Structure 1
């Protein structure tokens, strides 16, 4: 019980941004510099057992029954303790999601977003953790931007996904993808962000954010030649930027940029042979570009659809 209480208090009293397990027989839980949480290996089983004991009375046929705020706080503490130990605990993530919706005063999405970042840095390939982060952003969007009129789908493309929010998410994804290579779950989350950006009605903003994502992906791919997920994301971004841009001059420029990118990738492949992901990416881009009209066809099509000026 002592280790469990120490862990919960550490999370509640500090803005934890990093989590780790250590060998320490004297102190089960320690906080360094106010942001670094260390949990002793020897205390993990005790913490997990007590967390399950706290959780059991709240469960009725698999669903938590919360009669008051005290029960909600108990559920929040127990699930956080379990996720500290195992970032893929499905039940704990599901209960926290429900609690975030039903008791936002106890589990505010802004605080949950910061907590999710700390947990993902310890458990970077937790598909449920990335899904929960997505839910946090959606809830923040619903509450702060559209309120009661919030809708899913195209409404997700409102101004809530600012350049600053995107930069924060991209930085987290790139850091975890760098520390834990080929992190499919992190890139899938980034793919969702790109899909939301593509829904934005402002063409200039949409184009700017997709191009920024594309540039950062190029920088990442330059030092991660075997990361298939990064290449797949780049391919998706090229499709978005060319398909969404209806201005002929920019569409032509993007096509030329993409063809130039293929040439650069071919040079990189020849310089660093043996990377199957890079080779496959080149072939995919070449096959896709072959299906697109060339500059002459685009200009002819534009002239054919342009209104004839009155004499």
Structure 2
């Protein structure tokens, strides 16, 4: 009994601290190899909870053994709650203990919201714990059983050829509303998928915001945190049903994050998921504008951080998505506008989709056809000569013959033209010009590293197939 006195006191101090301050927002271990006489190893200050390292093994062995005894003896819920909370703070990768917490929730001894708070606190110390994210998803399913139980069965494959007429007639485009005031375009409670008849309530939004904050904090603490980003995507799919307003809000909020974590592939992959999700369900022109803005965004990032491959890989994904969207628009125009058939020669692509190959120079071009002409030789190796090496190490001046081409390229970046499809198509078509311009602008950076990135990008452009 005497051997248990010290860990019992430590457990009592830890439990008391958790009860005394419900606003604790961080937990960590404090390096202290030896105990200090007459001082508790539990430290609580400014809503931060710490535990001295000398007590970890002693406390964990005590609470884990007593947890197993309590489970075998008949499960005293109060002790089960106290022991399981302590075990998970010290080691959250214990699925058995999380299952005991599930039992406490189903028996209504603790609330699902309170267990989510515990999971958030645990992830301040253990940000990558997969078991903690699994528990979060289970708790969210308890909070929103109707959303998560039916979303998978109701979610259908996205159609690229049909859009709701009610959605198209619903005032301004979701993109213009989003960028005019920074708020979601859809009114509160509107659904991205009318067929689902799903309403995103204020409670949904509050919980989703907390989940996004928790995932962001976990991603900040652990680089390339796959579990955090996967959970974030799961929340968007299962809780919000890919609501347009939430997707746009996430797209805007993650801009600053990827600027601060330019080598983290996970953040860029998440942005690609957001744009891809928007492209599956919304008007063609609005999606083209978002893709155009993302390409400009990646251009600015590459100019500032030219040697970071994560940005280049993301750019390739967006280039591919932009080309797919423009080709979808071209095919849709060609099929639905009979008078264009006299000027369009069709060919069968390897994947079985008809594309526009040639159009008469004597006739006006509809938007989809014009976009396709600009994209015809996008994947041709001869179209990408790459940057021209200069004899001067600080040669940032353009040749006079390039001024007109550069001016057109700059206009496509600023989207000075009203036709967003043409502006995006020009960006895709002139990727070689982007690399040449980049090489001239970034004359002060590590040239070998920049050249390696450009060579890798050129190789991808030469071998990519659609």
Q: Same fold (TM over 0.5)?
A: yes
* Offset of residue 298 of structure 1: 4.3
* Offset of residue 301 of structure 1: 5.4
- Matched ranges for 1:38-49 at <5 A: 38-49=50-61
Query: Paired residue for 1:268?
Result: 301
Task: Answer yes or no: is 1:188 the counterpart of 2:200.
Answer: no
* Cα distance in 2, alignment partners of residues 302 and 36 from structure 1: 63
Structure 1 residues 275, 21: closer, same or farther in 2, change over 3 A?
Answer: same
* Offset of residue 303 of structure 1: 6.2
Task: Answer yes or no: is 1:168 the counterpart of 2:205.
Answer: no
Query: Paired residue for 2:25?
Result: 17
Secondary structure of residue in 1 paired with 2:326 = coil
* Cα distance in 2, alignment partners of residues 259 and 197 from structure 1: 29
Structure 1 residues 212, 91: closer, same or farther in 2, change over 3 A?
Answer: same
* Cα distance in 2, alignment partners of residues 44 and 130 from structure 1: 23
| 1:258-296 deviation digits (Å, cap 9, x = unpaired) | 023113313422431221211111112212222223555
* Cα distance in 2, alignment partners of residues 27 and 2 from structure 1: 8
* Cα distance in 2, alignment partners of residues 57 and 86 from structure 1: 19
* Cα distance in 2, alignment partners of residues 222 and 44 from structure 1: 37
Unaligned stretches of 5+ residues in structure 2: 1-7, 155-197, 339-466
User: In the alignment, is the contact (CA less than 8 A) between 2:77 and 2:104 conserved in 1?
Assistant: yes
Task: Answer yes or no: is 1:118 the counterpart of 2:121.
Answer: yes
* Cα distance in 1, alignment partners of residues 335 and 216 from structure 2: 40
User: Which piece of structure 1 moves more, 71-80 or 154-163?
Assistant: 154-163
Secondary structure of residue in 1 paired with 2:325 = coil
Moved segments of 4+, more than 6 Å: none
User: In the alignment, is the contact (CA less than 8 A) between 1:226 and 1:278 conserved in 2?
Assistant: yes
Structure 1 residues 179, 49: closer, same or farther in 2, change over 3 A?
Answer: closer
* Cα distance in 1, alignment partners of residues 256 and 133 from structure 2: 23
| 1:23-62 deviation digits (Å, cap 9, x = unpaired) | 36221223224x32221212112211211221122345xx
* Offset of residue 65 of structure 1: 4.8
User: In the alignment, is the contact (CA less than 8 A) between 1:197 and 1:210 conserved in 2?
Assistant: no
Secondary structure of residue in 2 paired with 1:226 = coil
Query: Paired residue for 1:309?
Result: none
- Matched ranges for 1:1-311 at <5 A: 1-15=8-22, 16-22=24-30, 23=32, 25=36, 26-33=39-46, 35-59=47-71, 65-66=74-75, 71-101=76-106, 103-104=107-108, 106-142=109-145, 152-154=149-151, 158-160=199-201, 162-196=204-238, 199=241, 206-245=243-282, 248=283, 251-294=284-327, 295-299=329-333
Secondary structure of residue in 1 paired with 2:110 = coil
Structure 1 residues 198, 258: closer, same or farther in 2, change over 3 A?
Answer: farther
* Cα distance in 2, alignment partners of residues 197 and 119 from structure 1: 23
* Cα distance in 1, alignment partners of residues 335 and 254 from structure 2: 32
Secondary structure of residue in 2 paired with 1:107 = coil
* Cα distance in 1, alignment partners of residues 239 and 279 from structure 2: 14
User: In the alignment, is the contact (CA less than 8 A) between 1:194 and 1:237 conserved in 2?
Assistant: no
Query: Paired residue for 2:168?
Result: none
Give me the TM-score of the superposition, normalised by structure 2.
Answer: 0.55
Give me the TM-score of the superposition, normalised by structure 1.
Answer: 0.80
* Offset of residue 238 of structure 1: 0.8
* Cα distance in 2, alignment partners of residues 110 and 86 from structure 1: 21
User: In the alignment, is the contact (CA less than 8 A) between 1:197 and 1:209 conserved in 2?
Assistant: no
Secondary structure of residue in 2 paired with 1:162 = helix
